[in-house]
A = this chain, B = another copy of it.
């Protein structure tokens, strides 16, 4: 779930944002001043910060600087000041976007989505590593490690393993596996699966003939058990 930290000293703005964000499935944290913003960011690990510049205790750029000292979380600045120099200062201080009040909720939400999307694409947020006591699978790097050493997989081997790992814990039918790896025209060539599951077990399992992770469900399909 995406977490948003809303920082504003006007209760009605906080309230409106909280309602709109919560209704769209975001987790919402709030703070009413700069000190609370820094504390909330440190403790709540938000995915994006919506920051009003007119806070009672600190200057807006101070808050931005305080955040930027240790995090690259996207910051969307809200401000009543339409002056160009204010925008420039905030953006150069490290803000990601600047929206002037009064603002349209639709637009703010769209800018928020854009900021979150950007951060998730760029950052290592898609930390897609699945580990077992015997080996680890890194879905993003397309790498498999066993005893610290890299295991070489052929494209088809990787395709089979990837589908199973993405559906870890669940049963994957033979048909589904064939269609996702070999294409929609396949569905009955179960002998392919036997060959490739055997190869994967040889490369990954401690006892290939007694698999602990790449399990056969007779007559149904296969399952990756973590």
Which A residues are closer than 8 A to B by beta carbons?
A: 72, 84-85, 87-88, 91-92, 95-98, 104, 106-107, 109-111, 113-114, 118-119, 121-124, 140-143, 154-155, 158, 169-171, 217-220
Contact = CB atoms under 8 A, between A and B. Distances in A.
25 contacts: A72-B121, A72-B122, A84-B104, A84-B107, A88-B107, A88-B110, A91-B110, A91-B111, A91-B114, A92-B110, A95-B114, A96-B114, A97-B114, A118-B118, A122-B122, A122-B123, A140-B170, A141-B170, A142-B170, A142-B217, A142-B220, A143-B170, A143-B171, A154-B219, A155-B219
- Number of identical protomers: 2
A169 B113 CA distance: 29
Nearest to A109: B88
A84 B84 CA distance: 21
A210 B121 CA distance: 34
A85 B72 contact: no
Nearest to A140: B170
Contacts of A123: 122
Given A87-B106, A118-B118, A118-B122, 19 more contacts: A72-B121, A84-B104, A88-B107, A88-B109, A88-B110, A91-B111, A91-B114, A92-B113, A92-B114, A98-B111, A119-B122, A124-B124, A141-B169, A141-B171, A142-B220, A143-B169, A143-B170, A154-B219, A155-B219
A118 to B, nearest CB: 6
